[in-house]
């Protein structure tokens, strides 16, 4: 901890839903630029899907539900479906009716809402990741990553 303090970090950026980064920032006297709460809200796939639907914007075919019977119905379809925890990230919290058992999915989602979407085969989606922050009253934007997500 003293080595981190000695480095005199002014800011830490929290890229995950993890309050430990905020605690670390506090302990070393730095400012946490993105709170775990902001990360949690930004990564909430259920709220995003609901917003897109309410706004009349396109979404991937599917539903969100907490009903085990509806989950079982989609699991038994021949089409390939993803079953996603609303806070899933980097492959964690994703299940598939091609790669998992129904029992695995039902035991993992714990009765909470789950998003069920048809897999789009062989499509890609470029993603630019950026940070917008304010320092000394001036807003800044910083691009920090590019990814291309391919579902195959």
Q: What pLDDT shows up at residue 74? A: 96
Measure the CA–CA gap between 94 and 86, rounded to whole angstroms.
9
pLDDT at 152 over 50: no
- Which structural domain range is residue 68 located in? 45-119
**pLDDT averaged over the chain?**
81
Q: Both 14 and 69 in a single domain?
A: no
Q: Tell whether the torsion through CA atoms of 30, 34, 40 and 43 is positive or negative.
A: negative
Q: Both 31 and 97 in a single domain?
A: no
Q: Both 49 and 115 in a single domain?
A: yes
Q: Which two tokens stand for residue 5?
A: 């303090």
Q: Are 47 and 70 in contact (CB under 8 A)?
A: no
Note the pLDDT tens digit of each residue in 80-132: 999 998 888 777 788 999 999 999 999 988 788 999 999 877 656 667 776 77
Q: Both 38 and 61 in a single domain?
A: no
Q: Both 106 and 61 in a single domain?
A: yes
Q: Both 31 and 93 in a single domain?
A: no
Q: Both 89 and 58 in a single domain?
A: yes
6 vs 63: which has the higher pLDDT = 63
144 vs 83: which has the higher pLDDT = 83
57 vs 124: which has the higher pLDDT = 57
Q: Both 106 and 141 in a single domain?
A: no
Q: What pLDDT shows up at residue 49? A: 86
Residue 20's CB: how many other CB atoms inside 10 A?
10
Q: Both 70 and 14 in a single domain?
A: no
Q: Provide the domain count of the chain.
A: 2
Q: Are 98 and 127 in contact (CB under 8 A)?
A: no
**pLDDT band with cut points at 50, 70 and 90 for residue 3:** confident
Measure the CA–CA gap between 8 and 28, rounded to whole angstroms.
8
Q: Taking Cα atoms as reference points, which of 101, 56, 107, 97 lies closest to residue 77?
A: 97
Q: Which two tokens stand for residue 147?
A: 């990814």
* DSSP one-letter code for 79: S
Q: What pLDDT shows up at residue 22? A: 82
């Amino acid at each position: 901890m003293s080595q981190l303090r000695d480095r005199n970090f002014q800011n830490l950026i929290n890229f995950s839903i993890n309050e430990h980064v905020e605690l670390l920032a506090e302990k070393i006297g730095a400012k946490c630029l993105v709170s775990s709460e902001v990360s949690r809200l930004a990564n909430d796939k259920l709220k995003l899907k609901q917003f897109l639907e309410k706004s009349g914007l396109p979404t991937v075919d599917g539903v969100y539900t907490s009903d085990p019977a509806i989950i079982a119905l989609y699991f038994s379809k021949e089409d390939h479906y993803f079953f996603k925890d609303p806070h899933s990230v980097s492959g964690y919290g994703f299940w598939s009716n091609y790669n998992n058992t129904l029992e695995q999915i039902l035991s993992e989602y714990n009765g909470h809402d789950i998003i069920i979407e048809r897999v789009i085969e062989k499509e890609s989606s470029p993603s630019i990741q950026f940070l917008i922050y304010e320092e000394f009253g001036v807003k800044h934007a910083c691009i920090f990553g590019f990814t291309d997500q391919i579902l195959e």
